[in-house]
Structure formats: C-alpha cells, structure tokens
Structure 1
Amino acid sequence: MKAPAFAYRRPDTVAAALDAFAAAGGDASYIAGGQSLVPALALRLQSPAMLIDISRIEELHGVRLEAGRLRIGALTRHAEALTDPLIARHAPLLHEAAPHVAHPAIRNRGTIGGSVALADPASEFPAMTLAMAAEIEIAGPEGRRRVPADAFFLDLYQTALKPGELLVALHVPAIGPGHRWAFDELARRRGDYALVGAGILAELQDDVVAGIRIAFLSVGPTPLRAMAVEAALTGGPLDAAAIARAQAALDQDLDPLDDDQVPAAMRLHLARVLLGRLLGRLMEAA
C-alpha cells in the first residue's frame, strides 16, 4: 500500500509549525525521523491531510548543559545517544539503552523526541526518561510548559501532549558523584522488541541507598516505575538481602498481561531476574 495524498509544510520555527497545524484544522501530523509515522502512513493506519516536517527547526536540535540539567533537543537522533559525550556523562541511561534500540539504520534516522512522544511501552527511551526523572518541554498554542515524566505517560500510546502540541526537548537532572546506574533488557534477538527491560538510577551515600528510581519497559501499557521496590531499597545498604527483598516486592509493581508471545507469569519472572542482575551490578560498583 501507499500513503494517501497529503499537503506538506516545512517550517523553520516552532511558532511556524504550530501555526501550520492550526491552519490545517488539526488534521495534520508532525514528522521528523518518520520511523513510526511513515510505516503507519504506508499502511493507511494514519491519513492526515498535512505533514508538517519539523526537521529544520534549529531549536529542536542540540544537547547542552543548563543550570544543572541536560537539555536534549527533541530532534536528537537515537545514534547521538551513543556518541554525544554530554549524554554519556549526564544522561547515562540513554547512552546505555541506545545500542538496544532497533538497528543502526533506524537509530540513524529516529529521534529521541519522537520515541518519547510516541510512548511505545516496549521502547527504551520513554522508560529511561522515567528512570532519570526527566521533564518534557512542550510547546503549544497556549505557550510552553514542562511535564514531569511521571505525569507524561498516561495509557497505551497516550501522553500528556494535546492535539497540535509539539515536544521541544527533554530536561534531565545532571548526574552527581554519588549516582550509580544500570540498564539491560532481555530479547530473543538483538534489535527485537524486549521481552522485558529496565533501567535503574540510584544515589548512594556511604553505601546507603539515599534515592533510587527503577523503570521497566515491555511490562504494561506504559513505561512503569517500580515504586514498591524503590521503597524497599531506600534507606538501607544495597546487599544480597536487600536485592532479595526488592525482587519479592516486584509483584506489587508489575501485573503484566498474557499475550501471544509471552505468558504473564514468565514476563514477571524475567523482570524479577533482570532486576536482580541490575541491582547486583550496582552492588558491585558500590
């Protein structure tokens, strides 16, 4: 199949992009990397009257450190998470997750902002924004706002983005000297969607867990934080007994559904195994 006919605009500012969306009466889609939208158009799952190409909007590009936060422009490519030194230093979970995202051809075109806006629950970057306590900067007809990642992912492919709004950037708290992190996922083959994946960002003070955020992917309709596990670990040492308690607490956080590929009980078991591995890495690093 081929995409139906559509009008095309390529604005060079965020304001012009918002105006183009309004002029289309809301029957429009923003496109940048196009790694999700183009297949949907080809299959006629989406048929907007207008495509608004945001790839040349300078404000959406670039990575820089601002007042203790890393600003990652929405059009930052997946591949840049592998190579950008600021991302590696201050948003390490994106750097650790990037090699697991699909395949090189997709990483070279796909954008981090597009991945977060799509909010595929099996994708790595949305879950890592949750683990890193990122804020999502959004531009719309009523102005700019920032939404914490905890409030951004609402349901399957549903986010806090309103029709016509544009994801501008991610703002990630910079890593401090006491932070430790780990990411991994379990998949049948490299590049496949993960059966389960997780990222952990912990702050340790004198070998005590002062704070920790754990986010899972491929275990529900959205990326999910393991808040019962976080509570079980916070305030104590990270040792074998703490890891066992954390694995036991995971039942309170995850309730995956059965599907044709993986029974729910197996996915929960894999999540428990993965959690143990990641916490074990942090324990060794500490």
Structure 2
Amino acid sequence: MYNFDFVKPSTVEEAVAALQDDEAQPLSGGQTLIPSMKQRLNAPGTLVSLLGIEALKGISVSDGVMTIGGTTTHATVAAQADAYPALAYLAGQIGDPAVRNRGTIGGSLANNDPAACYPAAALASGATIVTNTREIAADDFFQGMFTTDLEEGEIITAVKFPIPEAANYQKFEQPASRFALTAVFVAKYADGVRVAITGASEEGVFRWAEAEDALSNSFSAEALSALAVPANDMITDLHGTAEYRAHLCKVLTGRAVSAIS
C-alpha cells in the first residue's frame, strides 16, 4: 500500500465537494477498490468514504417500489428485503459473510463487474439508479464491462426496484470467487417479463430479449425450447468456454421460470 488521504464526510454534499479533487475516489464497501490499491492497479490520492452518510443507508417500500440506500450492505438486503424475496436471496449468495457485511449495493452497481450479481437484479427489475444529481434507468446505466453512465464525482444515493409479481435468481457460481460464472434473474410483471444475465458476456450484464418475448406470451420453461443464446460475445476462460456459458444462459433461465411457476 502507499500513502493517501482519507476523509469521511457525513453528508452527500460534503462527499461531492471532496470528490472535486482530481485524485479523489469514493469508497463504499471497498471490496474491489482496496484489493486493486494493494496491487497498485489503482492509486487515488484521497479516499472519500461514503459510509458515514446515514442518509445513504436503509431499505423502504412504498407504492410497490423498494428503495435501497446506496451504502446498504449485501447482508442488510439479505436480511431485510422481505418484500422482494428474490432480491434478498440474491444478496445472500454474494461472496462470503465478510464480503456481505462490507460490500454495498451502490458500490457493486457503480463498479459493474461483468460477473456481479446486483446488475442482473437491477436490469431485470427495470430499476432506477438514483444519484446526487439525477435518476438513471437501469437500461441506460450499464454500458459495458466495468462501465456505467456515472459521471466523475457522481454518487449513487439509492436504487429503486419495482417489486414484480414473481421473480427468481439462478446462479451458477465459480466456487473459488463465488462470482457468477453465469447467472440469470427473471422478473415477471403485469406488463411482461424481463430476463437479465450476468457473468456470461464480454459486454457485461445484458437482457435476453428473445426469452422475454417468449415468456411474456407463455410463461413456461417450454417457451424457451426453440431459443438459444449466441456464443459470439460470451466469455471464454479457464472456468468455461463461450459455448458453455451460452448453454448455461438457457438452462438457468428455464430453472428460474420453473421455480416461479
């Protein structure tokens, strides 16, 4: 590690002001940032901790929408998101207890790791990412591997999840890291079905539009029988080939639909 300044503001306004420094970076759970600093892949001059801002913590439900503060931990979501069971289940499958008690939903979404769990939930739920300056639809927020629509100095303050009629998350995890080798989140709403896949594509989280159309017409695993996810843009690594991940997309979607049905 190396020398850096550390500040812990108590309000969003103070945090935004501190982040005006070109060498400053926000720190939420730190589950990616701190390891990257230890490996000297990242060298911020100042860390601006968001964990002292109470307004960014907590879960509430109103008019069919669950709002989760940006620095709410995975463990808290797992324990308290009762109104959205599939989301609570997803949070409980992230990493191990140490990661779940430090990692935050805002940090995960801002990092947009291609194998992270929360991006699939946000995209499948049609969530809205709330920042200190605006609201961003999940469909516009995720823009590729480790890339989002966030601007410099912009902070995720909350995430709004419309609660579906039913939902399910199926995760085929990589045992060592507990990231998703491939995972699928299926959410069924009155106006249709949304399917988001993480861990499979080189472009990061994505919606499987063909499956959404088929399931919106007939919500059954059989509706997927004639479909296939192209392997062209899938990840190939020592854990699995592109073809294997493409196959998992269909299998896990079918399992999620069967679990809901």
TM-score of Structure 1 vs Structure 2, range by shorter chain: over 0.9
Q: Which of residues 120, 123, 126 is equivalent to 1:130?
A: 123
Question: TM-score w.r.t. structure 2 length?
Answer: 0.93
Code of the residue aligned with 1:88 in structure 2: it is: D
Aligned counterparts of 1:240 and 1:270: Cα–Cα separation in 2:
14
Aligned counterparts of 1:128 and 1:213: Cα–Cα separation in 2:
10
The superposition leaves residues 157-183 of structure 1 with CA deviations (integer Å, 9 ceiling, x where unpaired) of 0101111111110011134xxx12111
Name the residue aligned to 2:46: 50
Name the residue aligned to 2:197: 216
Name the residue aligned to 2:186: 200
Name the residue aligned to 1:166: 155
Aligned counterparts of 1:171 and 1:9: Cα–Cα separation in 2:
28
Code of the residue aligned with 2:40 in structure 1: it is: R
Structure 1 contact 130–149 (Cα < 8 Å) conserved? yes
Q: Of the two, which has the highest radius of gyration?
A: 1
Q: Which runs of 5+ in 1 are unaligned?
A: 205-209
The superposition leaves residues 236-286 of structure 1 with CA deviations (integer Å, 9 ceiling, x where unpaired) of 3324541313xx14339x731322331111111122211221222223xxx
Name the residue aligned to 2:242: 264
Q: Is the aligned partner of 1:65 residue 2:54?
A: no
- SS of the residue corresponding to residue 26 of structure 2 reads strand
Name the residue aligned to 1:251: 230
Aligned counterparts of 2:63 and 2:92: Cα–Cα separation in 1:
29
- SS of the residue corresponding to residue 19 of structure 2 reads helix
Code of the residue aligned with 1:73 in structure 2: it is: G
Structure 1 contact 232–249 (Cα < 8 Å) conserved? no
Distance 1:186 1:238, change over 3 A: same
Equivalent residues in 2 for 1:73-152 (5 A)?
A: 73-84=69-80, 87-89=81-83, 91-139=84-132, 144-152=133-141
Identity %: 32
Number of equivalences? 260
Structure 1 contact 121–223 (Cα < 8 Å) conserved? yes
Name the residue aligned to 1:207: none
Deviation at 1:116, TM superposition (A): 0.8
- SS of the residue corresponding to residue 180 of structure 2 reads coil
Aligned counterparts of 2:239 and 2:221: Cα–Cα separation in 1:
32
Structure 1 contact 183–200 (Cα < 8 Å) conserved? yes
Deviation at 1:33, TM superposition (A): 1.7
- SS of the residue corresponding to residue 229 of structure 2 reads helix
Q: Is the aligned partner of 1:233 residue 2:215?
A: yes
Structure 1 contact 134–170 (Cα < 8 Å) conserved? yes
Name the residue aligned to 2:167: 181
Q: Which runs of 5+ in 2 are unaligned?
A: none
Distance 1:16 1:263, change over 3 A: same
Aligned counterparts of 1:188 and 1:120: Cα–Cα separation in 2:
14
Code of the residue aligned with 2:103 in structure 1: it is: G
Distance 1:125 1:268, change over 3 A: same
Aligned counterparts of 2:176 and 2:33: Cα–Cα separation in 1:
23
Deviation at 1:217, TM superposition (A): 0.7
Aligned counterparts of 1:266 and 1:101: Cα–Cα separation in 2:
22
Distance 1:240 1:35, change over 3 A: closer
Aligned counterparts of 1:187 and 1:240: Cα–Cα separation in 2:
22
Code of the residue aligned with 1:166 in structure 2: it is: I
Question: TM-score w.r.t. structure 1 length?
Answer: 0.85
- SS of the residue corresponding to residue 200 of structure 2 reads coil
Aligned counterparts of 2:94 and 2:177: Cα–Cα separation in 1:
6
Aligned counterparts of 1:183 and 1:72: Cα–Cα separation in 2:
18
Aligned counterparts of 2:235 and 2:177: Cα–Cα separation in 1:
23
Aligned counterparts of 1:196 and 1:59: Cα–Cα separation in 2:
34
Aligned counterparts of 1:37 and 1:257: Cα–Cα separation in 2:
23
